[in-house]
Amino acid sequence: MSQRKIIHVDCDCFYAAIEMRDDPSLAGKPLAVGGAADRRGVIATCNYEARAYGVRSAMASGHALKLCPELLIVKPRIDVYKAVSRDIQAIFRDYTEVIEPLSLDEAYLDVSDSPHFAGSATRIAREIRRRVSQELHITVSAGVAPNKFLAKIASDWKKPNGLFVITPDQVEAFVAALPVSKLHGVGKVTADKLGRLGIRSCDDLHGWDRLALVREFGSFGERLWGLARGIDERPVQTNSRRQSVSVETTYEHDLPDVTACLAQLPQLLEELDRRMARLDPSYRPDKPFVKIKFHDFSQTTLEQAGARRDLDSYGLLLSAAFARGNKPVRLLGVGVRLHDLRGRQEQLELFAP
């Protein structure tokens, strides 16, 4: 197999950058895009001036204002952000059709077979960055590497407005020095467990064989073994499919107990049914799930295979999830995991005689 050439492009504080572009008076000031503090709003994103005060995405707007009293919070303009995202995607398509959007402001590009710039992924990334800046007046950071895992790390290496390249012959040394917390899929719990085992860098992981990691971490141990060696065979997916459909609400006042939470279920399920009705027939509903974010921002999600998708079944899931924290609740969500029937059909056709 020929060596892949992957670019990960990530817009710099995307929503905030568009707001500063469209209203230059906001530039240079601490700025966030999100909900109002007096309505239990949450920060969607913020510029780098705000980040210097400790403001972060997903933070309560009220807390953000305590950290930075001068913070300007503007209401999101999602339609504008979507339009700019489409313009960015159009620039991508001038260089490759193998594009995997992760969100409005982030995507993987496989340029392995691109004829542009004599096949140089670095020059393609540089040109994409130049065009986004010149045509759309915002900045993006990009990472170039032989796989998705390393390209994503590289795009963050020189943020904002940076380009970082990891060539195939640099992979081994680069990965060896990486903290394990940088590995895809390693969250705080896994990082803490790795630390207790004396594993803090990928170089430390090299001392563990594959089977030992599988015994400690289950199937994820296999993934750890590969990532610690810079191995990631995931292709860039040009046709990503839904894995779930859900609806959630942040409440202006905390829901004090499980009874108050259960009282919100009918309205949530009514909206979920509306969203389910808009799905195309290539999906089949599977496991129901509930999500709870408590007043201290800790959260839990609970799902159950084989459960029905009626009010009583969601009520049982919600009660069990609430018992995990037993604290006032700021956000409730309900949803359904989806089974992709189209993928199953394609697999059957592939193996048909």
Q: Cα separation of 347 and 331, whole Å? A: 39
DSSP string, 175-199: HHTSBGGGSTT--HHHHHHHHHTT-
In this prediction, residue 343 carries a pLDDT of: 53
Please give the Cα distance from 198 to 192 (Å, whole number).
Answer: 10
Three-class secondary structure of residue 165 per DSSP? strand
Taking the CA atoms of residue 32, residue 36, residue 40 and residue 41 in that order, the dihedral angle to the nearest 10 degrees is -40
Could you list the active site residues? 106
Quick one: pLDDT at residue 240?
66
Residues of the chain with pLDDT > 90, as a percent, come to 67
pLDDT at 282: 80
Per-residue pLDDT tens for 236-245?
988 766 788 8
Contact status, residue 12 vs residue 19, Cβ threshold 8 Å = no
pLDDT at 70: 96
Q: Which of 61-75, 100-114, 138-152, 174-188 has the lowest mean pLDDT?
A: 174-188
Q: How far apart are CA 69 and CA 32, in angstroms?
A: 12
User: Does the annotation flag 105 for ligand binding?
Assistant: yes
Residue type, 109: L
What is d(CA 142, CA 71) in angstroms, rounded to the nearest whole number?
28
Q: Which domains does the chain have, with CATH numbers?
A: 6-12+79-169 (3.30.70.270), 15-76 (3.40.1170.60), 172-227 (1.10.150.20), 244-345 (3.30.1490.100)
What per-residue confidence (pLDDT) applies to 203? 93
Q: Is the pLDDT of residue 351 over 50?
A: no
What local confidence, expressed as pLDDT, does residue 219 receive?
83
Report whether pLDDT(353) > 60. Answer: no
Is 300's pLDDT higher than 50?
yes
* Residue 224 and residue 230 in contact, taking contact as beta carbons nearer than 8 Å: no
Q: What is the mean pLDDT of residues 313-326?
A: 94
pLDDT, one tens digit per residue, over 203-236 is: 999 889 889 999 888 888 888 999 999 988 899 9
The rounded mean pLDDT for the chain is 90
pLDDT > 70? residue 288:
yes
- In the predicted structure, residue 352 carries a pLDDT above the cut 50: no
Q: Is the separation of the CB atoms in 299 and 291 below 8 Å?
A: yes
Peptide bond preceding 160: is omega within 30 degrees of 0, i.e. cis?
yes
> Residues 75-130: pLDDT tens digits?
999 999 999 999 999 999 999 999 999 889 999 999 999 999 999 999 999 999 99
Least confident of 39-43, 316-320, 324-328: 39-43
User: Which two structure tokens, joined as six digits, stand for 85?
Assistant: 């995202």
Segment 65-72 shows an average pLDDT of 96
pTM score: 0.72
